[in-house]
A = this chain, B = another copy of it.
Amino acid sequence: MSSTGKPLLGAIEAGGTKFVLAVGHSPAHIIARHEIPTRDPAATLAEANAWFEGHGAIGALGIGSFGPVDLDRSSPEWGRITNTPKPGWANCDLVGYFAERLGVPIGFDTDVNAAALAEYTYGAGKSAASLAYITVGTGIGGGLVLDGKGVHGAAHPEMGHILPRRHPDDRDFKGVCPHHGDCLEGLASGPAIKARWGASLSELPADHEAHEIIACYLAQLAVSLIAVTSVEIIVFGGGVMKTPALLERVEQLASELGAAYFPGKAKHKIVSPGLGQNAGLTGSLLLAADL
């Protein structure tokens, strides 16, 4: 129970490497935070559950999860991670597990939709009507908020798998995506950078061609987002985006590639996360608060 007399909100940012847990009085007021490594589902979920039980009763739980996930509330599979290649996690019933043990209503979305919702509400998009949140790290994913709601469509966006034009100096690399080879994730994720140049982008000298090549691919996602949805704010987060000057290169190239043509151009912005590392967790709390 919180000091306001209202039950606390709980949140899980469920990632492939770690689960981040939190309880808070509100999405903007986290009072405890805890990270656990992602192992097999049984061990990971039990450890998460024990942490929440150690913090007294919560009134609702929000989960922002790595995907793909089933977000269709009318589906018997709602609340599950579906066909992930991550060993042991396919068909993991995340929502069912915690609903049974904690007995509270549960909000559920992708990790990137949760992050987009948080940036839209409290961060880079708080005075905008639409926002996309892109993470560039081990994989590339994106969430989209239009008119205050996370976009699901038939399932949820998988923006990392658009097919960018190949950079002229990067024609030979086949890409690392097991599904598409040289889709965006196959060309510009952390592992794709390492596969070509043996180092992370931050480790490569500032004048290395990799900076321009990776920015060129990410800029194409920005152009596609603006062309298809006219989204106002595009937030680029994730480990790869910590590379100095990368965001500025993406912005510059998106503009050169034609984004300056699009109507409403004064409103389109490419920015860093306003909430830093906390977008996903804050978004998961928002999913709980919204129940």
Q: Establish whether residues A262 and B158, one from each chain, have CB atoms under 8 Å apart when the complex forms.
A: yes
Q: Which residue of B lies closest to A161 (CB)?
A: B227
Min Cβ gap A154→B in Å is: 3
A166 in contact (CB, < 8 A): yes
Residue A117 at the chain B interface, CB threshold 8 Å: no
Q: Is the interface of A mostly helix, strand, loop or mixed?
A: loop
Residue A48, interface by CB 8 Å: no
Counting CB contacts under 8 A, is A157 at the interface? yes
Number of copies: 2
Bound form: Cα–Cα A158–B155 in Å: 23
Closest to A131 in B: B153
* A228 in complex: contacting residue of B130, B228, B268, CB < 8 Å: B228
- Is A104's beta carbon under 8 Å from chain B? no
Total count of chain A residues near the partner, CB < 8 A: 52
| Cβ-closest chain B residue relative to A225 | B228
Q: Are A153 and B264 in touch, CB under 8 angstroms?
A: yes
- Tell yes or no: A162 within 8 A of B by CB: yes
Q: Are B263 and A231 in contact (CB under 8 A)?
A: no
B residues near A82, Cβ cutoff 8 Å: 263
Cross-chain contact A263 with B223 (CB below 8 angstroms)? no
A83 contacts which chain B residues (CB < 8 A)?
263
Known contacts: A151-B146, A163-B165. The answer to whether A230 contacts B158 by CB under 8 A is yes
Tell me the residues in window 232-278 of chain A with beta carbons closer than 8 Å to chain B beta carbons: 232, 257-258, 261-265, 267-268
Q: A151, A154, A160 — which one has the most chain B CB atoms within 10 A of its CB?
A: A154
Q: Chain B nearest CB: distance from A290 CB in Å?
A: 15
Q: Which of A83, A142, A144, A158 has the most CB of B within 10 A?
A: A158
Are A162 and B228 interface neighbours, CB within 8 A? yes
Say if the beta carbon of A135 comes within 8 Å of chain B: no
A–B complex contacts, Cβ < 8 Å, 16 sampled? A82-B263, A129-B152, A130-B153, A144-B228, A153-B231, A154-B230, A154-B232, A156-B263, A157-B228, A158-B230, A158-B262, A162-B223, A162-B228, A163-B257, A180-B258, A224-B224
Q: Give 12 A-B pairs besides A82-B263, A163-B258, A228-B229 with Cβ atoms closer than 8 angstroms.
A: A142-B228, A147-B149, A153-B264, A155-B263, A158-B262, A159-B228, A161-B262, A162-B227, A163-B220, A164-B165, A165-B166, A179-B258
